[in-house]
Amino acid sequence: MTSTSYARNATPPPAVLLIAAIQQLSVSAPTLVFPLLVAEAAGLSASATVTFLDLTLIAFGIACLLQPWQRFGIGSGFLLPACCTGAYIVPLLHAAHTGGMASVAGMTIVAGLTTIALSRCIRRLRPFLPTEIMGLVVLLLGLMNGLLGFREMTGDSAGAVVHGADITAAFITLICIVVSAVWGPARLRAAAVIFAVGIGTLTDFALRLATDVALPHIALDGILLHGWPLAMPSFDAALAPGFMLGAVVSLLRATGDIVICQRANDPNWRRVDYGTVVSGTFADGIATCLSGLIGGMPVNTASAGAGLAAATGVLSRRVCQVTGLIWITLGLVPGGAGLILAVPKAVLGTSLLYSGAFLVVSGMNIITARVLDARRTLTVGGAFVVGLSHDLAPATYASLPGFAQLLLPSSLLVALIAALVVNAIFRIGTRKSTAIVWHPRDGADALADFITEAGGVWGARVEPIHAADRVLREFGEAATVLVAGDAGIEAVASFDEFTLDIRLRWAGHALPLVRPLRMEDADETLFVAQIAAGLMQHRSDRMTRGTARDGRQELLLHFDH
């Protein structure tokens, strides 16, 4: 990975912004094959197909503007562009066949609402979505992007029409990317993809003219010439399960992409920041909803774009905003979609291959960020092999019932379902707990040693155990004024690899509420306890007071692991 040229909140020069934005366009453009397939399934005319593409480009732009926003709980704040996703392609084709573009628009709204709902409870889903599964998703996305790029380059993709000029231009483009990214000067490395795509496109056009192969046609129809809307949204309950499952895959893909951005922006990254994950996936759901409302198709975060940002070191979220404005402009201007499609697919495929390589390595790094015990190894390794079987043994999946084929359209989804099921099974019996009865006369060190020793046995991370140690020491200092007489305090610690909970019960006074301190309160009996309460609340991720069934005071301390 290259060193960061422009950090997340930096404002690059206009030339760098424009070049980086065009590069992001180039890695998302190959996914426009999905709306073309949907338009063909719906039987759209040529002009209506271009309008559908224009609406999808506008949805790309909206998503690119929302993602770096990071206000009101919307947007991850990272350079994370948008693209179309294969997670919905099977239910989309079915919807297009049965209900036309009205059904496509309506079910796209359903997909967006599902993503929004799931994004709000992603913290609760955290035990079932550990870091290693997110890494597996990123790894498989890298493989899928890389293989798609290779197939586009060589003409091996389904229905692709690639001439000898395209293949030659594609390999020249790949050589230019490698030379620019590895041996080029710093400024050229940041613009390696767009430089190489430009060289490849010019080469392709020159070879086509030399061999009398027809040049690509640029359609001039668009929203302004064809009219809008294409159809009013309609809803079909029978199609909902497929789109809701696609929303789950899109949510996990977006989560993996946000993790890539976190790693790229933080060299000392240790664990997932779920704050940006929640706001980023929420923005992804809003963008898909808006896409359905205007008549486009579902959008998702662009893994290739996140990989490209990590590869070039241009991480400024301003790039994402400029990319969004360009997408919207291309969608509104007649001929904008046709201009994107005029770039040879074989040339664009090289950018997917390039970014896919960085995604594969990022996925491997995320997986190995935690120590892989037998359970995690079986979860990741087994799911990876099962996922690859979808492409290596297609006859097995072709023999499945139609409903099963609808739920298992890709290797990514097969691997994801396998990983989630195996991880859920392996979670049985993983929660561990220990308890002691501690007396204030034993000293605060004894209470703190209790959690330190337990953390060592459980193999917990140092940071949350250290935070729990300091919180218990504060409580131990204040306990003398809280406990009635010589009664003991019952301490129960529970750990399940994702959360550390400590429950304290005692007979006596409740821990005081945290409130502004005044000098005239210095003689109050619970003054020290109030100071301790403030420090405990600050150092724990969550602190909850209550009363146990037997009438004793109860305090629950929660630490994220």
Instruction: State the Cα–Cα distance between residues 485 and 480, nearest whole angstrom.
Output: 9
The string of pLDDT tens digits covering residues 466-481 is: 889 999 998 888 888 8
Give 408's pLDDT tier (boundaries 50, 70, 90): confident
458 or 286: which carries more pLDDT confidence? 286
Closest CA to 369 of 245, 270, 488, 480: 270
pLDDT score for 216: 62
Separation in Å, CA 307 to CA 60, 279, 357, 508: 18, 20, 8, 57
State the sign of the Cα–Cα–Cα–Cα dihedral 10, 11, 12, 18.
positive
Please report where in the chains the tokens 């759209």 appear, as a residue.
44
Instruction: State the Cα–Cα distance between residues 288 and 419, nearest whole angstrom.
Output: 26
Residue 246 burial by Cβ neighbours in a 10 Å radius (0-12, 13-18, 19+)? buried
Q: Tell me: pLDDT of 359 over 70.
A: yes
Separation in Å, CA 253 to CA 84, 306, 334, 464, 522: 12, 11, 32, 28, 54
Q: Other C-beta atoms within 10 Å of 176: how many?
A: 21
**DSSP class of 6:** B
pLDDT score for 324: 94
551: left (phi over 0), alpha (psi -120 to 50) or beta: left
The string of pLDDT tens digits covering residues 81-120 is: 998 887 787 788 888 888 888 999 999 999 999 999 999 8
Question: Which DSSP string corresponds to 246-283?
Answer: HHHHHHHHHHHHHHHHHHHH-TT--S--HHHHHHHHHH
pLDDT score for 278: 92
pTM metric for this prediction:
0.68
**DSSP class of 236:** -
The string of pLDDT tens digits covering residues 506-524 is: 998 888 876 655 555 544 5
Instruction: State the Cα–Cα distance between residues 411 and 144, nearest whole angstrom.
Output: 9
pLDDT score for 523: 47
432 or 371: which carries more pLDDT confidence? 432
Q: Are strands 499-506 and 542-547 parallel, antiparallel or unpaired?
A: unpaired
Phi, psi torsion values for 371, nearest 5 degrees = -65, 125
| Cα 16 to chain centroid, rounded | 26
